[in-house]
Chains A and B, each alone.
Chain A
Amino acid sequence: MKNGLLISDHDKATRAGRGERGQLATGTVASTDTGRTYTRRRRRMVANLTGWSFALPATLVILGLTLFPAGWAFLISREHWDGFTPPQQIGWANYSNMVQDPDFRAAVDHTVMFTVLYVPVVLVLGMFIAVALNRKIRFIAFYRTALFVPMVVSAAATGILANFVFDPQFGLVNNVLRVLDLPRQGFLTDPHEVMWVIAVIYLWSDLAFSVIVYLAALQDIPQDCLEAARMDGANGWQQFRHVILPSLAPVTVFVGIWETISVLQIFELVLTTTHGGPLGASQTVVYFIYNEAFNLSRYGYGSAAAYALFAATLLLTLGLVAYSRRSKIEAF
Chain B
Amino acid sequence: MAETTPTSPLPRRGRTARRKPRFSRWHLLLAPLSLLFMLPLLQMVLTSFTDNGDINRFPPRFLPSSLHIGGYVRLFQDAPVLHWMLNSLIVSGVAIASHLVLCSLGGYAYARLSFRGRGVAFVALLATIMIPTQMLMIPTYFMFSKLGLINTLGAAFVPFLASAFGVFLMRQFFLSLPKELEEAGRIDGLTTLGVLVRIVLPLARPALATLAVFTLLNSWNDLLWPLIAINDPSKFTIQLGLINFQGAHHVDWQELMACNVVATAPLILAFLFAQRQFVQTMSMSGLKG
Q: Which of B144-198 contact A (CB under 8 A)?
A: 158-159, 161-164, 166-167, 191-194, 196
Least distance between A175 CB and chain B CB atoms (Å): 5
Q: How far apart sit A75 and B165, CA to CA, in the bound complex (Å)?
A: 27
Least distance between B138 CB and chain A CB atoms (Å): 5
User: Is chain B's interface secondary structure helix, strand, loop, or mixed overall?
Assistant: helix
Q: Decide if A2 touches B105 in the complex (CB within 8 Å).
A: yes
Q: Decide if B113 touches A164 in the complex (CB within 8 Å).
A: no
B90 CB contacts on chain A under 8 angstroms: none
CB of A119 closer than 8 Å to a CB of B: no
Q: How far apart sit A57 and B161, CA to CA, in the bound complex (Å)?
A: 10
Stretch at the interface among A14-22, A23-31, A89-97, A136-144: A136-144
A159 CB contacts on chain B under 8 angstroms: 243
Q: Decide if B162 touches A160 in the complex (CB within 8 Å).
A: no
CB of A124 closer than 8 Å to a CB of B: no
Among B37, B102, B194, the residue within 8 A (CB) of A61 is B102
Stretch at the interface among A100-108, A215-223, A322-330: A215-223
Q: Decide if A148 touches B105 in the complex (CB within 8 Å).
A: no
Q: How far apart sit A51 and B110, CA to CA, in the bound complex (Å)?
A: 8
Among A58, A151, A212, A268, the residue within 8 A (CB) of B162 is A58
Among B34, B55, B107, the residue within 8 A (CB) of A143 is B34
0/1 string, A153-177, CB within 8 A of B gives 1: 1111101111111000111100100
CB of A178 closer than 8 Å to a CB of B: yes
Q: How far apart sit A172 and B62, CA to CA, in the bound complex (Å)?
A: 7
User: Is chain A's interface secondary structure helix, strand, loop, or mixed overall?
Assistant: helix
Q: How far apart sit A206 and B286, CA to CA, in the bound complex (Å)?
A: 11
Q: Decide if B41 touches A135 in the complex (CB within 8 Å).
A: no
Q: How far apart sit A124 and B41, CA to CA, in the bound complex (Å)?
A: 25
A309 CB contacts on chain B under 8 angstroms: 132, 134-135
Given contacts A61-B161, A170-B253, A271-B223, 16 further A-B contacts (CB under 8 A): A55-B118, A59-B106, A65-B140, A132-B26, A147-B33, A149-B41, A151-B278, A155-B289, A164-B43, A164-B47, A212-B279, A219-B7, A219-B9, A268-B223, A268-B289, A271-B243
Binding site for A on B (CB under 8 A): 1, 3-10, 21, 24, 26-27, 29-31, 33-35, 37-41, 43-44, 47, 55-56, 58-60, 62, 102-103, 105-110, 113-118, 121, 124-125, 127-128, 130-143, 158-159, 161-164, 166-167, 191-194, 196, 217, 220-221, 223-224, 227-228, 239-240, 242-243, 246, 253, 256-257, 260, 263-264, 267-268, 270-272, 275, 278-279, 282-283, 286, 288-289
Binding site for B on A (CB under 8 A): 2-3, 6, 47-52, 54-55, 57-59, 61-63, 65-70, 72-73, 76, 83, 129, 131-140, 142-157, 159-165, 169-172, 175, 178, 204, 206, 208-209, 212-213, 215-216, 218-219, 223, 226, 236, 254, 258, 261-262, 265, 267-268, 271-272, 286, 289-290, 293-294, 299, 302-303, 306-307, 309-310, 313-314, 317
